[in-house]
Amino acid sequence: MDQTSNKHESATGILVSTPSRSTKTNCWSCGDMRAAHFCRQCGKVQPPAPVDYFTFFGLPYRLNLDPVKLEREFYNLSRHLHPDINAISTPQEQEWSLQQSSSLNDAYRTLKDPISRTEYLLRLQGVRMEEQSTAATEDARRTGKAKKQVVPPDLLEEVFELNMQLEEARMNKKMAEPDRSLESELRDTKKNLQTKYDRMMGDLHGAWNDWDALVDLSDQGGNVLEEDRVTVREKMLGVLNRRNYVRNLLRDIEEVLE
Ligand SMILES: [Zn+2]
């Protein structure tokens, strides 16, 4: 956004700052200044550089992104990086082209989906989803406290009741003795949970806005506090864990109602 953003990068951590665009080198083939993946002058594909998916697209680490723009950029890059374009003449270029195309596809697939985009950003932030839940499990075992992130507290009662109903319904299914009123209760519960599930995208968007505000602050040369970064990160992680938990419950209910 402005020229001061680079000097604040080290103070705020690179993962909140917009990737620097000042690291361009010259095209290996014609010597002109190149775009990251292909030369805008001669069209030659460039050696792949190890960058994260946001940087691959030249995007800041913002979670609100325009899917139409992303798609347009995807097709634009695809055209230039495709192994069949005429600018490619050597096996080396062919290989670079394949690697670049493959990274492009991975980057696009990851960033276009709101959930995988969020999970990817959290991974870049050093959060491992599985480790996180394992750590939570061990912590709960050690301290005897409930695993807040695994079973959302406001669902505890509902889940306890639901698990008993599911067990009964599974038994009925096995004996081929359907209980219509139990099934109807399960359908009601499913509807409630589905509503909660759908609302979670709203919660996630709220956390995105908080995160993007930090990115903007950093881009404008402001100082992003580590504790603010961690707070927003935890918020996103909380929504994702909650969402996974409810999705599993919905799957369990669907299974017995089949
Ligand atoms: Zn060139």
Upper half-sphere CA count for residue 109 (Cβ side, 13 Å): 6
The reported pLDDT for the residue numbered 19 is 53
Burial environment of residue 100 by CB neighbours within 10 A (0 to 12, 13 to 18, 19 or more): buried
**CA 69 to ligand 1 centroid distance, Å:** 26
Angstrom CA distances, 104 to 130, 158, 159, stand at 26, 43, 42
pLDDT at 86: 59
pLDDT at 83: 78
pLDDT under 70 in the chain at which residues?
Answer: 1-25, 32-35, 86-88, 129-150
Give 26 Cα–ligand 1 centroid separation in angstroms: 8
The Å distance, Cα 86 to ligand 1 centre, comes to 14
Distance CA 145, CA 132 (A): 16
User: Ligand 1 mean position to 29 CA, how many Å?
Assistant: 5
Residue 68 Cα to ligand 1 middle (Å)? 29
Grouping H, G, I as helix, E, B as strand and the rest as coil, residue 33 is strand
Q: What is the whole-number distance in angstroms between the Cα of residue 44 and the centre of ligand 1? A: 6
Q: 181 near 165, Cβ under 8 Å? A: no
pLDDT of residue 135: 57
**Exposed, middle or buried by CB within 10 Å (0-12, 13-18, 19+), for 252?**
middle
Angle at 207 between CA 211 and CA 158, to 5 degrees: 155
pTM of the model: 0.78
What radius of gyration do the chain's Cα atoms show? 24
| Cα 98 to averaged position of ligand 1 atoms, centre (Å) | 18
98 sits in which H/E element: helix 91-112
Angle formed at CA 238 by CA 157 and CA 185, multiple of 5 degrees: 30
Q: How many CA atoms lie within 13 A of 13 on its CB side?
A: 15
67 C-alpha to ligand 1 centroid (Å): 30
Distance 100 CA to ligand 1 centre (A): 16
Q: How far is the CA of 79 from the centre of ligand 1 (A)?
A: 16
- Tell me the pLDDT tens digit for each residue of 209-239: 999 999 999 888 888 898 999 999 999 998 9
Report whether 256 contacts 169 (CB < 8 A). Answer: yes
Measured between alpha carbons, how far is residue 164 from residues 64, 159, 169, 192, 250 in Å? 40, 9, 9, 17, 15
Q: Evaluate the CA torsion angle 232, 235, 239, 241 in order and state its sign.
A: positive
Distance 40 CA to ligand 1 centre (A): 7
